[in-house]
Amino acid sequence: GRKPVGIQWCTHWSNILEKELRLKECYDDNDVWMYPAIQENGEKIYDYICISVDNILVVPSNPKIH
């Protein structure tokens, strides 16, 4: 059925995001991944990647850099 496919999808993306891109999984939502970033003024913030089923949303702190 469909459940194993969803689990495989999550495992696949978790491996890429965590091991290859070194993102951190959000403590409250395992579909949200965070990457530490620094603003021009030196403030520490995060860029976010949200993954749900077959949708991916990237929320960079500064879109000009990415």
Give the pLDDT of residue 24.
92
Give the pLDDT of residue 11.
83
Give the pLDDT of residue 9.
78
* Ramachandran area for residue 15 (φ above 0: left; ψ -120 to 50: alpha; else beta): alpha
Cβ atoms of 19 and 51 closer than 8 Å: no
Residues in the chain: 66
The answer to pTM > 0.85 is no
Give the pLDDT of residue 7.
77
Distance of CA 42 to the CA centre of its chain: 22
What are the mean pLDDT values of the chain's consecutive 10-residue runs (66 residues total)? 71 87 89 88 90 83 68
One-letter amino acid at 38 equals I
